[in-house]
Structure 1
Amino acid sequence: MKILLVANMYPSKAFPSYGVFVRNTENILLDAGFNVEKVVLQKKMGKVAKLLGYAKYYASIVKNGLRTDIDVLYVHYAAHNAFPLLLLKKMKPSVKIVTNVHGSDVVPEVQSQEKFQPYVKRLLEISTTIITPSNYYKKLVRKKYGVTTPIEVFPSGGVNETVFYPQHENRDSLCSDLGLDPSFRYVGLVNRLDVGKGWQFFVEAAAQYIQENRDSDVRFIVVGSGKEEDAFKQSVLDQNLQNHLIHFPLMKQQDLAKIYNVIEVFVFPTIREGESLGLVGLESMACRTPIIGSAMAGLLDYTVDGKNGWLFEPSNANDLYVKLVHVLSLSRLEREKIAEQAYLTAQTYEQKAVQPKLAQIFSSIEQG
C-alpha cells in the first residue's frame, strides 16, 4: 500500500519541533512496512512566503492525489487542508482519505478559523476514516458534526521512548547542559505562548508562590514561543519574576527531554477545549516527571488526580498555586510514588505500544 502523507505542519532545521508528531506518524508507518510519500508544508515566515507556500502546497496535494499509484491520503489537520482535498474528491471520487483531526480543527481558537468549519464537516463526511488523538476528542467530533464516518483513536504518534525517558541520575550534568544551577528546584511549562495555552495562570501562580516563599529555592522554567510571547515577557516583568523565571525559546526534542528530567513537576495550564491530547504532558511523564494539569479536555484521558499527577480548576491561578504548594511540600517517597505511576501511564502511549494501532487502521483500509 502506498500512502501519501499530507500535512501543513512538518519539522525543519529552523523549527525542529513544528509538527514533529506528523513525522512520528510517518516513521511509524514506514517501520510497519508501508510505502509512504509526503506532501508537507514547513513553517514559513512572512505573509508573502506563507501565501506562496500554501499555493504550491495545495497544487501538489491535488497533483499527487490524482496519481494512480497512490492508494490512500493520510492528512493531518482538516481545517487548512479541506479545500484541496474536497476538490480532489470531486476530480477523483474513488480517492480514499484518512483525516487526522487536531486542536483547532474542531474547536477554532480565533474567529478567523470559524470560516473553515463547513469545509471541515464536509471533509469528515467524505473521509474513509477519521482519526482523533483521544477518546475525549472522538466524542467531541461525533457530537459536533454528527458524522457516521468510522472514528479511530490514535495518540498523535505516541511518545518517542528513545528521546523521552528518565535521566534523573544525570540531573547535575543536564543542568549544566542547559545553563541551570543544579542547587535550585525547578517547575516547568513547555508549550506555545499562544491563545488558550494558559501561560498567564502559570505566571500568576509562580508570582504568588515566590511572594509567599521569598527565600524559596524554587525556580520556574518556561519553554516556548508564540504570538503572545511579548505579552508573556511583559507579564514576567510586571510580576517581578525576572530573577525567578527562566525562559527558553523553542527547543529540539532532545533538549526538551533534558528539561523534563531537570524539573520536579510539569505544569499544563491549558484552557483550550480543543486540547485534543496534550502530548507534552505524556512526554514529561515518560521522563518520570508528573504533571499538574487543567482538569479538562484531552488531559483527562491520562491524568488521574492524586494517582499519577494532579488536576486543578481551569483558569484558576490560585488553585494552581495551591497544588504547587502541595506538590513541592511532598516527601521524596510521596513524589516517587506519583512519579512511578506517571511513568507507567506514559508507557502505554509510547510509540512501540501505539504503533500497531496506526498500522491496523491502514491495514483494514487496504483489506477492505
Structure 2
Amino acid sequence: MCNTFYYLKGGSERCFLDLSALLVANGHEVIPFCMDNERNFDSPYADYFVSYIDFPSQLNGRAGLKGKLRVGERVIYSREARRNIEKLIADTQPDIAHIHGIAHEISPSILPAIKKAGIPIVQTLHDFKLLCPNTNFLSQEHVCEQCKGHRYYNVVKNRCKRGSLSASILAGVEMYTHKISQIYERNTDVFIAPSKFLQRKVKEFGIKNEVINIPNFINPNSFTPCFEPENYFFFFGRLTKIKGVTTLLEAMRQIKTSHLYVAGSGELHDPLLAYANEHTIKNITFLGFQTTEKLIPRIQKAAFSIISSECYENYPMSVLESLACGTPVIGASIGGIPELVKDGETGLLFEAGNADDLAQKIQYLLDNRQLAIEMGRNGRKLVEANNNPETHYQATMDIYQRLSKNRLPYLK
C-alpha cells in the first residue's frame, strides 16, 4: 500500500489509512511504502521508506540550484524510490500493489519496478494529478482546464503552481515527461475513481485504462445521529478562497435568524474576521482549528452544514461525515459534491460562487426545519447503504481477485 504520508495529513491519507485498517481487520497483511517523516506511525517496514524531503525549503532561494535539482530529480524519477521498492518486493513478495498519492515525494518511478516483478497495480485517484499539472484544476484560484489536450505549457504561462515560475516549470516538465513515457498508464492495471465526476474526467482527457468508480467509505457506527438540531449551521474546512468561505460570508449578510459556526484555519482567517466586523455580521463565530473530538458533536447538533467549494471536489469526506451524523448539507453544485448532496433529498445544491443563491438555500432550510431533519435522515440512510466499510471492501477485493494470479481469498 503506497502513499507519500504515513500519518493523518489530509483526506487522501485518511482514505489510505482507513483502507489499510479495513484490510487488516479482514485478515490481510498490509505492507506500507511511504516517505520517512517524524510524524509517521510506527511500522516494521519503515527502513524501506524513501528519505524525507521538504519541497518548499528546497525550492526557495536559500537552497540554491542544488536544492532545485534535487527536487527535480525526486519529482520526475526517484532512483532511491525505485531501489527501495525493489528491495521491499524481494523481501516481502506482495500479491498486489495499491497506489494512492505518490506524486512528487515518491514519484511514479516505483511503478515499472512493481510491474517488472509481475505484481498487479491498482491506483486510487484522490485528486486530478493524472490530468492537471497543478493537481486540482486551479489557476490563480479559479477552475481551469487549459492544459486539456496535453497543453501543459499553460501551467508555466499562468504560473499555476503557487504563483511560482520555477515550481510551475517543474510541474510542466514533470507532466510532459510522465505523459510522453506513459509511466502511469502503461503500468497501472486499474484506476479507482471515488467519484463518477473524476471517472468521467479521466475518460474525457483521453486515458484509455480501466477506471472503476468505488466511493470513499466511512463507518456509520462511529457517528451517532442527533435529529434534534440546535439553531445554528456549520462550516468546517480550510479557510481559503477555493473553499468558498468568502461567498459564504457574503451570503451571511442576508441571514438574521440563525448562527453560523466556522471551524478551520487558513490564509483567510483574519480577512474574514475583518469582513464580518466591517459589515456588522454578528451571528458568526470563528472557532479556529478543531480536533475531530470537538468537531463531530458540532456537526451532529447543527441544523445543516455548508460545503461552499469553488473548485472541483472529488468525493469530499466532509460531506460523508455530515451525512453520517444525520446532518443535511447545503453544497455547491460542482465536482463530485452532487453525488452525495442529492438536491431536495439529502440537502440542497446552490450555484458555486453565487452568494445570493446560497443565502436563499440557507434561509429555506431555516424556514423548513422539519424538512431539514428528514433530509438528514435520508443522508444517513444513503451513507449506510452506499458508503459502508463492507461494501467498499467487497468492491476492492473484486478488483484484487480479478487481477491477482494467486486469487486472493476473502479472509475473515
- TM over 0.5, yes or no? yes
Does 2:85 correspond to 1:65? yes
Task: Tell me how large the CA RMSD over aligned residues is.
Answer: 3.3
Encode CA deviations 1:265-300: one digit per residue, 9 max, x unaligned. Answer: 111111212x11122112101111000111121012
Does 2:361 correspond to 1:323? yes
Q: What is the deviation of 1:323? A: 0.5
Structure 2 Cα separation of the partners of residues 256 and 119 of structure 1: 42
Length-normalised TM-score, structure 2: 0.72
Which residue identity does 1:304 align to in structure 2?
Answer: K
Map 1:58-207 → 2, pairs under 5 A: 61-66=81-86, 67-68=89-90, 69-77=93-101, 79-80=103-104, 84-86=107-109, 88-89=111-112, 93-94=116-117, 95-105=119-129, 106=131, 107-110=136-139, 111-112=160-161, 115=172, 116-118=174-176, 121=179, 122-126=182-186, 127-144=188-205, 146-156=206-216, 158-168=217-227, 185-207=231-253
Q: What is the deviation of 1:227? A: 4.1
Does 2:373 correspond to 1:336? yes
Does 2:52 correspond to 1:47? no
Structure 1 Cα separation of the partners of residues 293 and 10 of structure 2: 10
Encode CA deviations 1:61-105: one digit per residue, 9 max, x unaligned. Answer: 423421222343322236436x73236516963454322112342
1:314/1:262 CA distance change after superposition, 3 Å: same
**CA contact 1:132–1:152 (8 Å) conserved in 2:** yes
**Where does residue 224 of structure 1 map in the other structure?**
264
Q: What is the deviation of 1:207? A: 2.6
3-state DSSP class of the match of 1:307?
coil
Identify the structure with the greater strand proportion: 1
Structure 2 Cα separation of the partners of residues 9 and 364 of structure 1: 28
Does 2:2 correspond to 1:6? yes
Map 1:251-262 → 2, pairs under 5 A: 251-262=290-301
Q: What is the deviation of 1:318? A: 0.6
**CA contact 1:201–1:315 (8 Å) conserved in 2:** yes
Which residue identity does 2:98 align to in structure 1?
Answer: Y
Q: What is the deviation of 1:187? A: 0.9
Stretch deviating more after TM superposition (335-344 or 259-268): 335-344
3-state DSSP class of the match of 1:84?
coil
Q: What is the deviation of 1:364? A: 2.0
Structure 2 Cα separation of the partners of residues 97 and 261 of structure 1: 39
**CA contact 1:202–1:269 (8 Å) conserved in 2:** yes
Stretch deviating more after TM superposition (72-81 or 130-139): 72-81
Q: What is the deviation of 1:17? A: 6.8
The structure with the largest alpha-carbon Rg is: 2
**CA contact 2:111–2:184 (8 Å) conserved in 1:** no
**CA contact 2:227–2:376 (8 Å) conserved in 1:** no
**CA contact 2:304–2:372 (8 Å) conserved in 1:** no
**CA contact 2:242–2:311 (8 Å) conserved in 1:** yes
Encode CA deviations 1:231-279: one digit per residue, 9 max, x unaligned. Answer: 44443343333x4222233433333321210211111111212x11122
**CA contact 2:330–2:347 (8 Å) conserved in 1:** yes
Determine what percentage of the aligned residue pairs are the same residue: 19
3-state DSSP class of the match of 2:204?
helix
Structure 1 Cα separation of the partners of residues 278 and 128 of structure 2: 31
Length-normalised TM-score, structure 1: 0.79
Structure 2 Cα separation of the partners of residues 197 and 71 of structure 1: 40
Which residue identity does 2:138 align to in structure 1?
Answer: E
3-state DSSP class of the match of 2:342?
coil
Which residue identity does 2:288 align to in structure 1?
Answer: P
Does 2:29 correspond to 1:35? yes
Among candidates 305, 326, 348, match of residue 266 of structure 1: 305
Structure 1 Cα separation of the partners of residues 335 and 114 of structure 2: 37
Which residue identity does 2:13 align to in structure 1?
Answer: G
1:88/1:149 CA distance change after superposition, 3 Å: closer
Stretch deviating more after TM superposition (263-272 or 123-132): 123-132
Question: Greater relative contact order: 1 or 2 (C-alpha under 8 angstroms, separation 6 or more)?
Answer: 1
**Where does residue 144 of structure 2 map in the other structure?**
none
3-state DSSP class of the match of 1:142?
helix
Structure 2 Cα separation of the partners of residues 362 and 208 of structure 1: 51
